[in-house]
Amino acid sequence: MDIKANTDRSVAATLLQSRIQIINEASSRSRWILLLTIGASILFFFSSWNTRSNGWLVLREQVLRDVIQYEAIDPHSPRMMQLAHDDPERYQRLLEYCRFHKLFIEPSPTRVGEPATAAPLQPADAQAMNLAMARLQAQLAARQAILAEKVSILTLPVLGISLDINDLGMFSGMSLCVLLVMYWFSLSRERDTLEYLFGRLGFSRRRTDASSDTLVHILEPVELYNLLSATQVLEVPPRTRRDPLSTIRGTPIRGWLNKFLSLPPLLVQFFIFLSDVRTIKAGQCISNEATLVTLITSFLGLFGIFALTVAVMLVHRDISKLWQQECKAIVQNHDPRTKPPSPDPSPDPSPDPSPDPSTGPIPPPN
């Protein structure tokens, strides 16, 4: 008997280790694909974000161009005096920019104290002005090169491909659709694996069921469920230590966070599509056909990502329901706190009443 019991425990330990490893591998595979999808979504989002007309890169290039155009490094220049009259807000903004970056030229003593009038440049001021303007023009050329080479053109170092920023909607739609298909297949496989393992473990059956798995007879089902749920990272299985009602309900906030992680591809593609629609006139100035192709491919990518996101969230819902059902079955069938009380033994049937001696013997029938 001892040899057989030790053998059963060894087999149970091996089965437990293999099944925990199977669930861990399934959830780990889905987790890595999700992280890759979110990382790609973030890269696509910022690639489109930097091309906005009010983006930081564009705004820095515009303000530097204004400094050169109005000669803002000299507050006494005629252009700055005219700008102060026409657009005081812009004038103050350029002054603050030059003051913060210390771009003002050092004025000669004859021009100090005359900020409200356009005083003529002295020879020393003219030389300093020319040197400062040359430096600013070099900075402007460098920023324009960054916008042209780093923002307007997307370079994929691994593939060695360069894409125009207007093709971002088509490229992001195709890439995110492929990643979401892989994520959907991985989640579906994880769901099927959980269904198979839970069916083998037989949490929904009582210990008296002979068809239950060997592990249920060796290890407590509650402990076995907790070991399996400990392998989950993105999924939040219900806990068996709480009140049965709260166990069945699960944790709503944390339980929905993993489903919200499937939304970034859809949100990013929607943002890129809106950016394409907003800049449609700029594209038509170059080519109507190319603009139409860009809008159609971006919309098709958005539609495909929407359909795949719905499919992924449905699989997430199935996995959450599966964990909740198994937890409910464990609480009802195996948790001693919720185990129904054993029925009371039925009372012994009372013997037949004996005849009353006071009434005398019962006369025999005629």
Which residue segments constitute the domains of the chain, with CATH numbers given?
2-51+166-333 (1.20.58), 56-151 (no CATH)
pLDDT in the model for residue 300: 95
Q: Residues in the chain with pLDDT < 50?
A: 108-118, 206-212, 242-250, 341, 366
Q: In this predicted structure, what is the pLDDT of residue 161?
A: 75
3 state DSSP class of 156: strand
* pLDDT at residue number 146: 82
Give the residue from 327, 341, 109 showing the smallest Cα distance to 228: 327
What pLDDT is recorded for position 295? 92
Amino acid at 103: L
What is the dihedral sign for C-alpha 280, 282, 285, 287? Answer: negative
pTM over 0.85: no
C-alpha–C-alpha distance, residues 166 and 48, integer Å: 9
Half-sphere exposure of 226 (CA within 13 A, CB side): 12
- What is the rounded distance in angstroms from the CA atom of residue 122 to the CA atom of residue 191? 80
Helices (DSSP H) in the chain: which residue ranges?
Answer: 2-49, 56-70, 78-86, 88-100, 123-146, 168-201, 214-218, 221-229, 244-249, 252-260, 264-278, 280-284, 288-333
Residue 262 and residue 313 in contact, taking contact as beta carbons nearer than 8 Å: yes
